[in-house]
Amino acid sequence: MTPASVAEIPVETPLRSSIFDAENPGFKKDFDELPFEFKHCFHADHPMFQLPRIRQILDHDVLKHHAYYDHGPIVIDQRWEKLPERKLTSKEVFDNIDVASGWMMLRHLEKDPEYNELLQQSLDEVKRLTGRKIDEDKKSQEAIIFFTSPNRITAYHIDRECNLLMQVRGNKQMNIFDRNDRDVTPETELETFWSKDNNAGLYKPQFQDRAFVFEMKPGTGVHIPVNSPHWLKTPDNVSISFSISYQYKDTRRKHVYQANYYLRKMGLNPTPPGKSPMLDNIKRSAMSAGFAGKNFIKKLKGGKAS
């Protein structure tokens, strides 16, 4: 069965010959390694990003269940378990976004054929620009719209997706850190993130000056590599951003960090991913086979691996 479109009448969405600036060297040089800024073709006057069109997502039988929101004061190092109590509905936050101090994440828009068309066209172009074999490496892909109130912080966090965030309306400041900086992101935080806690990343203000800072505006975007910590600040304007992303298969990164998490719990000092291809492969094999906890440790100890 073909998924129902959000719109009652499908929007005539113009397909552009090019979404991204093909001359940007970042796609070849830095993709999924370092953050970089790029240009794109999406703006607030695009039919898929006008407010009435986005508002219909909250009434869609499927997509409304994937809409997350919060509202109230947020700080950079906000812990998710301590978010302000929600006193407004998602529709109330949407309709009063200019004063609600709200943040909305409208997820899984790929379930709608019209948004999925934008996602697929964008990823196809990313494949051409980067030369990466994305279809072979990924296990899933997703399109998201972020809708944010003025003067609002998006707290520091780590994602498991390889992401391109495109500013469509309003301005926004993006702060991204190098995922390979172990002062900023210790191995233990990444192990915990991949094993049990999506909120494992801890903001360290003493390293703020190491951030890549991007002043985003409509028509510009920023690439966020997997596991690159980041936080955002929206100034005195309503912001709409469009995110396209994909997750790698678990064997690429997740299984190695999970293995190291169990090893560390047993008092060992595991070798970080990428230092030993042989150890990484042993860990991937063990985790893929369903080993965990003590059984996993026994397997690795038997192979003299850590």
Q: What is the pLDDT of residue 9?
A: 43
Do the domain assignments include residue 5?
no
State which H helix or E strand residue 93 sits in: helix 90-95
Q: What is the pLDDT of residue 296?
A: 58
State which H helix or E strand residue 216 sits in: strand 212-216
Is residue 109 within 8 A of residue 143, CB to CB? The reply is yes
Do the domain assignments include residue 91?
yes
Same domain, 180 and 280: no
Same domain, 242 and 289: no
Same domain, 190 and 224: yes
What's the whole-number average pLDDT of the chain? 92
Do the domain assignments include residue 187?
yes
Same domain, 295 and 231: no
Give the CATH number, domain containing residue 164.
2.60.120.650
Distances (CA, A) of 111 to 67, 93, 116, 240, 247: 13, 23, 7, 20, 16
Q: What is the pLDDT of residue 128?
A: 96
Same domain, 288 and 143: no
Tell me what the mean pLDDT of segment 253-276 comes to.
Answer: 96
Tell me what the mean pLDDT of segment 271-281 comes to.
Answer: 96
Do the domain assignments include residue 60?
yes
Same domain, 57 and 71: yes
Same domain, 258 and 244: no
Do the domain assignments include residue 6?
no
Q: Whole domain around residue 145: which residue ranges?
A: 40-248
pLDDT tens for 135-191 read 999 999 999 999 999 999 999 999 999 999 999 999 999 999 999 999 999 999 999
Same domain, 139 and 278: no
Q: What is the pLDDT of residue 10?
A: 46
Do the domain assignments include residue 133?
yes
Tell me what the mean pLDDT of segment 253-269 comes to.
Answer: 96
Classified as helix, coil or strand, 127 is helix
What letter would DSSP give residue 123? Answer: H
Confidence band for 13, pLDDT divided at 50, 70 and 90: very low
Tell me the C-alpha distance between 265 and 281, whole Å. Answer: 20
Same domain, 242 and 278: no
Percentage of the chain lying above the pLDDT 70 cut: 89
Determine the longest span between alpha carbons in the chain, in angstroms.
62
Same domain, 241 and 263: no
Same domain, 78 and 216: yes
Tell me the C-alpha distance between 238 and 199, whole Å. Answer: 26
Q: What is the pLDDT of residue 290?
A: 75
Domain count, the chain: 2
Tell me what the mean pLDDT of segment 259-286 comes to.
Answer: 95
Same domain, 196 and 298: no
